[in-house]
Amino acid sequence: MIEFKNISKVYGNNHIALSNINLNIKKGEFVFLVGPSGAGKTTFIKLLLKEIEPTNGEIIVNGTNITQLKRKKIPYYRRNIGVVFQDFRLLSDKTVYENIAFAMEIADVSSKDIKRRVPQLLALVGLINKEKLYPHQLSGGEQQRVAIARALANNPSLIICDEPTGNLDPDNSWAIMELLNEINKSGTTIVMVTHAKDIVDRMKKRVIALEKGVIIRDEQRGVYGYED
């Protein structure tokens, strides 16, 4: 599903954020990406989203070499990836329903299909009765659930999360993790960056640890491995 071949990223100030990364993530896997601050985790995700270009190497996603993807094709590539951020990134002038529907409108989904799909997604994330509320009327946990519903809107084969529980209390964090686990069970690949030790330790998923731009550990059913 995802293959990194000799990927290096050097930022303009000659800072090496990633150096010679090789890895393989299979379809349906749930992968935690951990490591201290500045290790290169967000850089990894940005490369995957084609927000930045690698200095060296190739990234293959679903059989496509995305390093060679034409600029015009990038939006269509991104529609196949759901993204969830620490700060939710909902549109504040749109309701819960509209936020989810908008992701589908952008992807040229017909009104009929949008009307059918959005209630399903709201049911999945447990927000059926909040569809008319605006993001500022929701708790952090609820906002993150809207973001997950939006990420799922176009049936992506991959969901990328950059510290999705970073702004949430433990209870809400667990609710989000259960939701992501459900989604993963239905076949969606998940790559999640996190600093939450207890989550990683309890989920017993694959753990890839980065340090100073290098993979120092890659374990199935791994643990967080840092004290922070």
Ligand X SMILES: Nc1ncnc2c1ncn2[C@@H]1O[C@H](COP(=O)(O)OP(=O)(O)OP(=O)(O)O)[C@@H](O)[C@H]1O
Name the residues that contact another protein, by CB under 8 A. Answer: 49, 72, 75-79, 83, 89-91, 93, 102-103, 105-108, 110-111, 150, 154
Complex with Mg ion: residue 41 or 79, whichever CB lies closer = 41
Q: What share of the chain is helix, strand, coil (3-state, %, to 5)?
A: 40, 25, 35
Site string for ligand X, 199-218 (x = CB under 6 A): --------------------
Strand order in the sheet with 16-25: 16-25, 2-10, 56-61, 64-65
What are the tokens at 76? 């269509």
By CB under 6 A, tell whether 167 contacts ligand X: no
CB of 41 to Mg ion, least distance (A): 5
- Rule CB under 6 A: choose which of 2, 7, 17, 59 binds ligand X: 17
- Minimum distance of another protein from residue 136's CB (angstroms): 14
Please state, as a whole number, how many other Cβ atoms lie within 10 Å of the Cβ of residue 220: 10
- Interaction of residue 34 with ligand X, rule CB under 6 A: no
43 binds ligand X (CB under 6 A): yes
Partner whose footprint covers residue 43, from Mg ion, ligand X, another protein, none (CB < 5 to 8 Å by kind): ligand X
48 contacts 31 by C-beta, under 8 angstroms = no
Examine residue 38 and tell whether it contacts ligand X (CB under 6 A). Answer: yes
Burial group, residue 111, by CB count within 10 angstroms (0-12, 13-18, 19+): exposed
Do residues 194 and 206 lie in contact, with contact meaning Cβ atoms separated by under 8 Å? no
Strand partners, 33: 193, 208
Residues binding ligand X (CB under 6 A)? 11-13, 15, 17, 35, 37-43
